[in-house]
Structure 1
């Protein structure tokens, strides 16, 4: 698969636009700490929600969800509950308001609201959360830029750009190299323009991704229509509900899929779902995690808008993201036997 001139132009234009956004908001961001970290707490809740949804629409996670949808069918909608998906409900109803009422500027400042400043175990509690936040941040960076790099590698083969790179990059690290380059662009405009540039950049990214997702869904629909709306999938693939066992048998279609189910350990799907449910409830009851969306909750104008923003995220994220996931899954099911994999 090769990129056309228009594809390259879109990518370059997007990168230039992100850098310009950072420069544009540089003066506004340096007015004070609140302006830099939280956009002065003047940004609309729906813009913050779109920004948060855009951040959650990552390449690595989407590729993983497509592979799940291919193997597990409609039942795959339950597997992302591991995060859990319904944590957004807890956040919308309780946690976002609590977080915003603290009037903290950062997640570190919020620890004073959660644990206090003095007392037995307070310092240890702070240290544990900080360590968790740092490890999570590094994990998300690695998860994100490696997935991004592998995605770019498909469309921009290394042999096309190798001659223009003044140093040698081993083949196994090409994806890492691509990922680091694009991550540096994101880091540049984020550091330069603060929350203002992050939110506007994410909004533009969301619009582009929405157009792409709708286009993929339409293309998949047209190809499925040509195939008389028939997919070669096992019985139960189209059913979101399940019994004690998963009961998906790919033996006569794609035996490797059965091996994938066995390796994942999801055969006893009801037990897996129950563990997901309990894990999700306990994770939600543990309180807000120091993740990338915490700063956007703190940036809202009021506790009420914090709840609105959190609830809005799922409404704008899931329909768009799943239109792409299902579209690519349908195309994969129609043509995987022609791809030589």
Structure 2
């Protein structure tokens, strides 16, 4: 436990008061109707929504997760989530405009726009509870677990105390302010969190026991962890950390904040944008900040922790009161923060509180929007007044918070949860990408993919079965588990798609006229119909995909360039700079060539 100074307490309390004030200030307008409460009237600018996306994904569990994997497998292990940049930029240049044109309140409402009949109604209701409640509780539990670890190491709090103190303020402000309160506070949370993370990294790298950046990167505990790419002489590491994430994972898995084709709270912010151009601008800004800039402060602290706390035993020795079931490499981030001086310590704690509140408040509002709009209003009370919908939204916010807090008490580390979510969504992602552009996909495609992915994941999670199929002595290597789940799920939903009836022509015509996806996947429907209207002469998706690839080159070059500057590898940094310039130039050119302006 650390001793906080008066300055530290002042910074933390001031931050809490500002957050609550914003929630109370916007509560009157946010409570007018469900559209205001969940989408802020659809009039948000790109820069505010982009900052909100970044703040939301800057959760307390993220630096813990990065620290965990860096300490175990080095910097290159981050490719398990860096690969999702491809998904993010596909959303920017292809799907952001489509989502905004759909004008649905939630991405779950999309199901009854794209599909028809009872299967669509079932899918909408089931996914509302499956994602809005079950998966949402999983995600929030991971964030709360990180808060518990930070509270126990830095403040000596019991798990229940952390949940009560941080959770109470968050749930009050989330319930009062709705989406507008979340987005407005995210603007403050973003800058608080960034300043805190960068300030902490700078100070901790320069601790006497670390000795500065030059001493850090040459230390024997760190030298073999620095590479941004995995060791190409280690075949298993290359397959696990690079090939599978880049070749399979990004398009095949559903993961909160990185859904193929857009979705979740990212879709919520795109739907709240003023128009399609603002939706695109917001998601592009988010991807630059999330993948290129923000990881490095966390990585530096993780690397420095290998010198100060070289193993879990050293963490346990320094913090003997930590429960055994909470011990892990992810604790090293919080352990390092205990060495910060007064003032900076208060700022960093405020930034971690900011990160926690931003992520939890977003998940509460997003999950509540599913429960209210896609379940309660559709199946409990179709004639519910706007006042009643807002009230149910506030109640569901509280319920989600309680369940996620209880589940957090049983988790051990953030990586554990990441693996569960990735595996359960394996094989479903391709549907989310193709359903906009291929008329033949129907509601049964999604229903079958969702269930078979869950069933296969549960079967393969059994230790006895996993040892038979995926182990050194098994039929296949361990890394094959994820691709096999993807393959089985994909084959299954494709078979079900062709064995079941397609959606009605009227449903498909309505969807096409609303979103105008275009492309050869709709040719059969267009040829059969005289009711489909085209607003574009040329299909712009190919240029969008080219822009996506150039965007990936630009952001990955930024990521590499910053890393090489930190490592003082200046020749590689210059090559990255050249790549940044060329990809940016070509991206602007492609952007201008597209008839629809993005901004």
TM-score (norm 1): 0.79
Q: Deviations over 1:230-252 (max 9, x none)?
A: 32236643222234554xxxxxx
Question: Equivalent residue of 2:225, what SS?
Answer: coil
- C-alpha RMSD of matched pairs (Å): 2.6
Question: Equivalent residue of 1:107, what SS?
Answer: coil
> Does 2:51 align with 1:50?
yes
Q: Find the counterpart in structure 1 of residue 432 from structure 2.
A: none
Question: Counterparts of 2:270 and 2:298 in 1: how far apart (Å)?
Answer: 28
Structure 2: gaps (5+ residues):
319-599
**1:54 Cα offset (Å):** 0.6
Shift in CA distance, 40/178, structure 1 to aligned 2, threshold 3 Å: same
Identify which of 307, 315, 321 aligns with 2:294.
321
Question: Counterparts of 2:260 and 2:299 in 1: how far apart (Å)?
Answer: 33
Shift in CA distance, 178/78, structure 1 to aligned 2, threshold 3 Å: same
Structure 1: gaps (5+ residues):
159-173, 247-266
Q: Find the counterpart in structure 2 of residue 22 from structure 1.
A: 23
> Does 2:195 align with 1:201?
no
**1:331 Cα offset (Å):** 2.4
Is the contact made by 1:3 and 1:155 (CA closer than 8 Å) also made in structure 2? no
Count residues in correspondence. Answer: 302
Mapping of residues 169-248 of structure 1, within 5 Å: 174-223=158-207, 224-225=211-212, 228-229=215-216, 230-233=218-221, 236-243=224-231, 246=234
**1:218 Cα offset (Å):** 1.9
Shift in CA distance, 94/129, structure 1 to aligned 2, threshold 3 Å: farther
Is the contact made by 1:244 and 1:268 (CA closer than 8 Å) also made in structure 2? no
**1:64 Cα offset (Å):** 1.3
**1:280 Cα offset (Å):** 1.4
Q: Find the counterpart in structure 2 of residue 287 from structure 1.
A: 261
Mapping of residues 1-341 of structure 1, within 5 Å: 1-81=2-82, 84-115=84-115, 117-118=116-117, 121-133=119-131, 134-158=133-157, 174-223=158-207, 224-225=211-212, 228-229=215-216, 230-233=218-221, 236-243=224-231, 246=234, 268-272=236-240, 273-277=242-246, 278-283=248-253, 287-289=261-263, 291-337=264-310, 340=317
Q: Deviations over 1:87-120 (max 9, x none)?
A: 21121122222211111122343332233x426x
Question: Counterparts of 1:77 and 1:153 in 2: how far apart (Å)?
Answer: 26
Larger Rg: 2
Question: Counterparts of 1:112 and 1:304 in 2: how far apart (Å)?
Answer: 25
Q: Deviations over 1:315-339 (max 9, x none)?
A: 2234553232123123212322576
Q: Which has the higher contact order (CA 8 A, sep 6+)?
A: 1
Question: Equivalent residue of 1:86, what SS?
Answer: helix
TM-score (norm 2): 0.47
Shift in CA distance, 30/186, structure 1 to aligned 2, threshold 3 Å: same
